[in-house]
Structure 1
Amino acid sequence: MSRYAAPLKDMRLALDVAAGIEDLTRIPQFSEATPDLVDAVLDEAGKLAAETMAPLNAVGDSQGAQWDNGVVRMPEGFKDAYDEYVNGGWNGLTFTTEHGGQGLPFALGLAVQETWASANMALSLCPLLNQGAVEALTHHGSEELKRLYLPKLISGEWAGTMNLTEPQAGSDVGALTTRAERAEDGTYRIKGQKIYITFGEHDLTGNIVHLVLARLSDAPEGTRGISCFLVPKFLPDENGQPGQRNDLRCAGLEHKLGIHASPTCTMQFGDNDACVGWLVGEENKGLRAMFTMMNHARICVGLQGVAIAERAYQQAVAFAQERVQSAEYGSRGPSVPIIQHALIRRKLMTMKATVEAMRALTYATGGAVDRAHAHPDADERAKAQGLADLLTPVVKAWCTDMGVELTSENIQIHGGMGFIEESGAPQHYRDARIAPIYEGTNGIQAMDLVGRKLAMDDGRHWKALFADIRDFAGAIAGDDTLGSIAEYLSDGVEALQHAAVWLAGNDLDEARATAAGASPFLTLFGTVAGGYYLALQAREAQRRLDAGTGDPVFLANKIATARFFAEQCLPPATALLGPITRGAELFYALEPDQFAA
Structure 2
Amino acid sequence: MLQNNYFNDVSDLRLHFDHIINWKEIVDSYEGGFVDAAKYKAGDERFATAPSSYDEALEYYKTLLDSVGEFAGKEIAPYVAELDKVGVKFENGKVAFPEKLLEIVRKARDAGLQPTGFSRKYGGLGIPWTVRAFFSEILYRVDASVCISIGCVNLAEIVEKNGSEELKEEWLPRLAAGEFACAMGLTEPDHGSDLPGLRTKAIHKEGNIYLLNGTKRFITQGCGTGEIPAILLLLARTGNPGSGARGLSFFLVQSKDVQVAGIEKKMGLHCSPTCEIVLENTPGILIGEEGHGLIKHTMGMLNGARMGISQQGVGIAQAALAETKKYTSERIQFGKPIGTIPAVRKILRRMERETMAMRCLMLEGARAMDLYYFRGDHLKEKGATERDLKSDVVLKYWEKLAGILTPISKFYCSESCVKIAGDAVQLHGGAGFTEDYDVSRIYRDSRITTIYDGTSQIQVNASIGGVVTGMTGHGFLREYIDNEWSHFPTEETKVLSDVWDGFQEAVVLYKELSTSEEREETADEIVWASARLLSGLLFYRSTLRIPEELRAERLSHVEEYNLDSLGYMEGLRAKLRVKISARQAV
TM-score range, shorter chain: 0.7 to 0.9
Displacement of 1:585: 11
* Cα shift readout 1:199-234 (whole Å, capped 9, x = no counterpart): 11133463311111111253643222211111112x
- Distance between the aligned counterparts of 1:586 and 1:158, measured in 2? 59
2:133 pairs, out of 101, 107, 110, with 110
* Cα shift readout 1:171-190 (whole Å, capped 9, x = no counterpart): 11122111111113441000
Aligned to 2:562: 566
Aligned to 1:590: none
Aligned to 2:187: 165
2:332 counterpart SS class: coil
When residues 319 and 49 of structure 1 are mapped into structure 2, their CA distance, relative to the original with a 3 A threshold, is same
Alignment of 1:428-577 (within 5 A): 428-451=442-465, 454-455=468-469, 460-472=475-487, 475-478=488-491, 483=492, 486-501=493-508, 503=510, 510-541=515-546, 544-545=547-548, 552=549, 556-573=552-569, 575-577=571-573
1:174 pairs, out of 177, 184, 196, with 196
* Cα shift readout 1:500-538 (whole Å, capped 9, x = no counterpart): 4555687xx732132112111121111111111111122
2:262 counterpart SS class: strand
1:52 matched to 2:48 = no
- Distance between the aligned counterparts of 2:531 and 2:104, measured in 1? 35
Aligned to 2:262: 252
Displacement of 1:257: 0.7
When residues 355 and 28 of structure 1 are mapped into structure 2, their CA distance, relative to the original with a 3 A threshold, is closer
- Distance between the aligned counterparts of 1:410 and 1:457, measured in 2? 36
* TM superposition score normalised by structure 2: 0.87
Range 157-166 or range 572-581, more displaced? 572-581
Range 110-119 or range 121-130, more displaced? 121-130
Paired residues of 1:19 and 1:366 also in contact (CA < 8 A): no
* Cα shift readout 1:371-426 (whole Å, capped 9, x = no counterpart): 10234793222211111110011111100000000000001111111111112211
Aligned to 2:407: 393
Displacement of 1:132: 2.7
Displacement of 1:150: 1.2
* TM superposition score normalised by structure 1: 0.85
Alignment of 1:29-428 (within 5 A): 29=31, 32=51, 34-134=57-157, 136-204=158-226, 206-216=228-238, 218=240, 220-233=242-255, 245-246=256-257, 248-270=258-280, 273=281, 275-287=282-294, 288-326=296-334, 335-375=335-375, 378-428=392-442
- Distance between the aligned counterparts of 1:27 and 1:184, measured in 2? 40
When residues 81 and 28 of structure 1 are mapped into structure 2, their CA distance, relative to the original with a 3 A threshold, is closer
- Distance between the aligned counterparts of 1:574 and 1:155, measured in 2? 53
When residues 144 and 260 of structure 1 are mapped into structure 2, their CA distance, relative to the original with a 3 A threshold, is same
Which amino acid letter does the alignment assign opposite residue 180 of structure 2?
W
Which amino acid letter does the alignment assign opposite residue 290 of structure 1?
T
Paired residues of 1:53 and 1:116 also in contact (CA < 8 A): no
- Distance between the aligned counterparts of 1:19 and 1:93, measured in 2? 19
Displacement of 1:4: 5.6
1:439 counterpart SS class: coil
Aligned to 1:10: 12
When residues 83 and 303 of structure 1 are mapped into structure 2, their CA distance, relative to the original with a 3 A threshold, is same
Q: Kindly, what percent of the aligned residue pairs are identical? A: 27
Displacement of 1:153: 2.0
Paired residues of 2:495 and 2:559 also in contact (CA < 8 A): no
Range 178-187 or range 428-437, more displaced? 178-187
1:255 counterpart SS class: coil
Q: What is the aligned residue count?
A: 544
When residues 152 and 575 of structure 1 are mapped into structure 2, their CA distance, relative to the original with a 3 A threshold, is farther
When residues 168 and 393 of structure 1 are mapped into structure 2, their CA distance, relative to the original with a 3 A threshold, is same
Displacement of 1:581: 6.8
Displacement of 1:586: 9.4
Paired residues of 1:309 and 1:355 also in contact (CA < 8 A): yes
* Cα shift readout 1:332-385 (whole Å, capped 9, x = no counterpart): xxx211111111111111111111111111111111111102347932222111
- Distance between the aligned counterparts of 1:555 and 1:205, measured in 2? 51
Paired residues of 1:193 and 1:268 also in contact (CA < 8 A): yes
Paired residues of 1:360 and 1:530 also in contact (CA < 8 A): yes
Which amino acid letter does the alignment assign opposite residue 224 of structure 1?
R
* Cα shift readout 1:147-188 (whole Å, capped 9, x = no counterpart): 111112233331211101111112111221111111134410
Paired residues of 1:450 and 1:503 also in contact (CA < 8 A): no
- Distance between the aligned counterparts of 2:580 and 2:453, measured in 1? 27
Paired residues of 2:162 and 2:287 also in contact (CA < 8 A): yes
2:212 counterpart SS class: strand
When residues 71 and 337 of structure 1 are mapped into structure 2, their CA distance, relative to the original with a 3 A threshold, is same
- Distance between the aligned counterparts of 2:246 and 2:524, measured in 1? 28
- Distance between the aligned counterparts of 1:531 and 1:411, measured in 2? 26
When residues 555 and 4 of structure 1 are mapped into structure 2, their CA distance, relative to the original with a 3 A threshold, is farther
Aligned to 1:592: none
CA RMSD of aligned residues (A): 2.6
- Distance between the aligned counterparts of 2:172 and 2:356, measured in 1? 34
Paired residues of 1:132 and 1:294 also in contact (CA < 8 A): no
Which amino acid letter does the alignment assign opposite residue 296 of structure 1?
G
Aligned to 1:20: 22
- Distance between the aligned counterparts of 1:4 and 1:521, measured in 2? 39
- Distance between the aligned counterparts of 1:350 and 1:324, measured in 2? 21
